Chains A and B, each alone.
Chain A
Amino acid sequence: MTGSKIISHIDRDFVKDLLSKGERLDGRAFDKYREITIEPHVVPAKAEGSAIVRIGGSSVVAGVKVLTGAPYPDTPDQGVTMVTAELAPMASPLFELGPPKEPAIELARIVDRGVRESETLDTKALCIEPGKMVYMVFADVYTLEHDGNLIDASSIAVNAALLGTKYQEMKWEDDKAVATGKELSLPLQNMAIEHTVSRIGDHLVIDPILREEFVQDCRLTMAVDKDEHFTAMQKGGGAGPMSLEMIDQAMGMALESAKEIRKLITDTMKSTE
């Protein structure tokens, strides 16, 4: 248990010394994720799609609600997607009660950008009647346990939940939406998963645990889509700079893990259909 954000110089030096010997606190290679498990359809009775994702000691739950509503005036023929996240105080003594602070907002926006920028959903296909009614897809993330790298866990959970989502088809009749009784899957055309690499001194480690996040200079989160393109990036988690070489190396680490994690998501969700 980690009760405080304060970390001693001794601990910082210890982590760095270990890294310069080529070792990490939990014995992993620098470019290896912890074990990832996906538990799909955890809210079967109320949410259209859902999943609990565990990465080592971190876990999050994501749920998808598909509602109908009026489109935004500037995109009358497109559905609406939105990702939100909450750093619930349940998940860590570091998280406090109250309205979302910057870290929670950043988490939500990073995951949201991963979905939005990769055009994961074909928003045109989410239109029921142009200018009148569209599907609104909300994916909400709640953190349950925090042992580092909640961004990647949230991204995996949101994508798994979207992949498993089943919702009622609606059609436009006599100026209102009526259910056709048919069940649809979301129009997924791409999927971008976030991968986070943490910079500690001269070293880069993927999937940092909490104690590594404490001592990191900064982190770089990258969304990798099905064509191995980067669709979103965010440097955060500290003000430390990163050289171009380091960024290049981090991108390499992300690409190396991307395929395997994408396969885990699609395989897990397929096996539960």
Chain B
Amino acid sequence: MSPEVKPDSLLNAEGLRFDGRRVDELRPIQMEVGVLKTADGSASIRQGKTYILAAVYGPRELHPRHLTLNDRAYLRVVYRMATFSVPDRKRPAPSRREREISMVIANALQPVLFLEQYPKAVIDVFIQVIQADGGTRCAAINAASLALADAGIPMRSLVPSVAVGKAEGTLIVDLGDEEDKYGQGDVPLAILPGTNELTLLQQDGSFTREELMEAMQMGVNACKYLHELQKDALKRSYSKKTPEGVDEELDDYEDDLETDLGEADIMEDE
């Protein structure tokens, strides 16, 4: 384990962040679909040092029964952190923070699902944080929406998500752990890529109205790029069955690891 150090400054004189990223640059991101065989659908995401698994079961019978909704399926999201995912050992029992994050993730995902199609059933989304290094709720949403798609659950679209923050008065995209802890604020958000509407929005720290508008715009732009990565990961998992295709697909993927936002625009033009 690398011991925690507080960086002297989160942003240097050249406008680069302490890990060398530009203000609008995401961490390296790897998404993979279908990583757990027992689940109906699953996905993993590595975003910088953050590592998260998501599994989806259902629609299936709901236990306990008293939670049953007569007109739609119950979307049950359980976000949990491993005890060893953080610098100190997290207590194993679910914390209030985990419960709250489970709820906001459910709210972020719900708009893309046709829950009214499955009355009385449950769709279970289990999220396990293996290593936490900032931005876990957003990374969890990215992985969870891939796992839902992998489970064959009809969706209006995937849900990309990212956090925007502020360090030394400058807005920065995709906070790492240090930027989250020592920065001046945090705005996690998730969008519906079709309409750019926000399905998750939280904020802490201190922002002016203008800053918040700019932060959300930066977040939406980053989400557009993440959405491309998500679609890519999904296609990859269903195309690797053709033997010749494998290498090719993987090569393409390597290029995508250049997670700079400049490329997002290029990809959208396709």
> Which A residues fall within an 8 A CB radius of B?
1-3, 42-48, 50, 57, 59, 61, 63-65, 67, 84, 86, 88-93, 96-97, 99, 138, 140, 142, 144-147, 166-168, 179
A168 touches B84 (CB 8 A): no
Question: Judging by beta carbons under 8 Å apart, are A46 and B78 in contact?
Answer: no
Task: Identify 23 residue pairs between A and B in the complex whose beta-carbon atoms are under 8 Å apart, listed by A's number.
Answer: A43-B131, A44-B49, A45-B1, A45-B133, A46-B86, A46-B133, A47-B85, A50-B84, A63-B85, A84-B92, A89-B78, A89-B126, A92-B38, A93-B57, A138-B84, A138-B89, A140-B83, A140-B89, A142-B128, A145-B38, A147-B37, A166-B1, A167-B1
How far is B35's CA from A37's CA once the two chains are assembled, in angstroms? Answer: 15
Residues in chain B near residue A64, CB distance under 8 A: 84
Whether the pair A65, B83 counts as a contact (CB closer than 8 A) is yes
Q: A57, B37: Cβ atoms under 8 Å?
A: yes
Name A147's contact: one of B38, B49, B55, B78 (CB within 8 Å): B38
List 12 extra interface pairs beyond A89-B124, A140-B83, A145-B37, CB under 8 A. Answer: A3-B60, A45-B1, A46-B87, A59-B36, A63-B84, A89-B78, A90-B36, A90-B55, A144-B128, A147-B38, A166-B1, A179-B3
Say if the beta carbon of B51 comes within 8 Å of chain A: yes
Q: Does B29 contact A (CB under 8 A)?
A: no
Could you tell me if A65 and B84 are in contact, using CB atoms closer than 8 angstroms?
yes
| Contact residue among A44, A63, A146 (Cβ-Cβ distance under 8 Å from B83) | A63
- Distance (whole angstroms) from the CB of A48 to the closest CB of chain B: 5
- Residue in A45, A46, A63 whose Cβ sees the most chain B Cβ within 10 Å: A46
B112 at the interface (CB under 8 A from A): no
Establish whether residues A47 and B1, one from each chain, have CB atoms under 8 Å apart when the complex forms.
Answer: yes
In contact, B92 and A91 (Cβ under 8 angstroms): no
> Which residues between 50 and 71 of chain B lie within 8 Å of chain A, taking CB atoms?
51, 53, 55, 57, 60, 63
B132 at the interface (CB under 8 A from A): yes
Give chain B's interface residue range (CB within 8 Å of chain A).
20 to 34
Residues of B within 8 A of A91 (CB): 36, 38, 55
Residues of B within 8 A of A179 (CB): 3
Chain B residue contacts of A3, Cβ below 8 A: 60
Tell me, yes or no, whether B2 is within 8 Å of chain A by CB. Answer: yes
Task: Determine the chain B residues whose CB is within 8 A of the CB of A47 once the complex forms.
Answer: 1, 84-85, 131
Contact B80 A67 (CB under 8 A): no
Given the known A-B contacts A42-B51, A89-B124, are A138 and B37 also in contact in the complex, defined by CB atoms under 8 Å? no
Q: Which of B119-164 contact A (CB under 8 A)?
A: 124, 126, 128, 130-133
Partner of A140, one of B37, B40, B51, B82: B82
| B93, B126, B130 interface centre (most CB from chain A within 10 Å) | B130
Considering only CB atoms, which chain B residue lies closest to A59 in the complex? B36
Q: Which residue of A lies closest to B125 (CB)?
A: A90
Partner of B49, one of A45, A90, A138, A166: A45
B39 at the A interface (CB under 8 A)? yes
Contacts of A167 in B (CB 8 A): 1
Q: Are B92 and A140 touching (Cβ within 8 A)?
A: yes
Q: Given A88-B128, A140-B84, A144-B36, do A45 and B2 touch, yes or no (CB 8 Å)?
A: yes
